[in-house]
Amino acid sequence: MEAIISIMRPFFEDPDKEFGIRELSRITGINHTTVRIRLGRMVSEGLLKTRKSGTYKVYVVEFSKQYLNLKLYYNLEKIRKSGIVEFLEREFDYPVLVVFGSYSKSSDSKGSDIDLCLISDSKRSARKELLDDVFYTNKFGKVLGRGISMHAFTKDEFNAIEEKDPGFANSVANGIVISGELEIL
């Protein structure tokens, strides 16, 4: 799995870009012959497709179910490895934490942010300045290579949001719960 992820990482980070074999070899630090062999397998598995660009063949994302599933795995692992979940669990006494929006659907691109919804009745959740703190956002934003859009609520506030903005509540409900349990009804 790690061999696939190492080659696919540039495609996950910038799915709109096309890559040549030598460029991928340089980015990944993997021998160009190995890159060529692995790319061939990924084309046959439906993860990538090829096209001619001048005299060279370039590889682009094939937005297949296989690709989207693998990218979702990559996105969730990236969040897990960043330490943000453990940090928020410590600071907010094990809140409900939901990843939603394009990042949770694997439709994110290089400029996309990561939408997180935090629901907690911890006394610290009333201090939203912790979430707005530039150090906090930059710390995990730098690790993840993306901006983080944090939406924090107490349980009562989130229940009120369900009434006021059902579209937002629906987006959160269709996200991926990575900590706690999201109660809708």
Is 184 inside any structural domain?
A: no
Tell me: the pLDDT tens digits for 39-51? Answer: 999 999 999 999 9
Residue 137: which pLDDT band, with cuts at 50, 70 and 90?
low
Distance CA 74, CA 76 (A): 6
Indicate whether 166 and 78 sit together in one domain: yes
Indicate whether 54 and 83 sit together in one domain: no
Residue 134: which pLDDT band, with cuts at 50, 70 and 90?
very low
In this predicted structure, what is the pLDDT of residue 125?
Answer: 47
In this predicted structure, what is the pLDDT of residue 74?
Answer: 96
Query: Domain range spanning residue 30?
Result: 2-62
Indicate whether 32 and 78 sit together in one domain: no
Is 126 inside any structural domain?
A: yes
86: phi > 0 → left, psi -120 to 50 → alpha, else beta; which? alpha
CATH number of the domain encompassing residue 13: 1.10.10.10
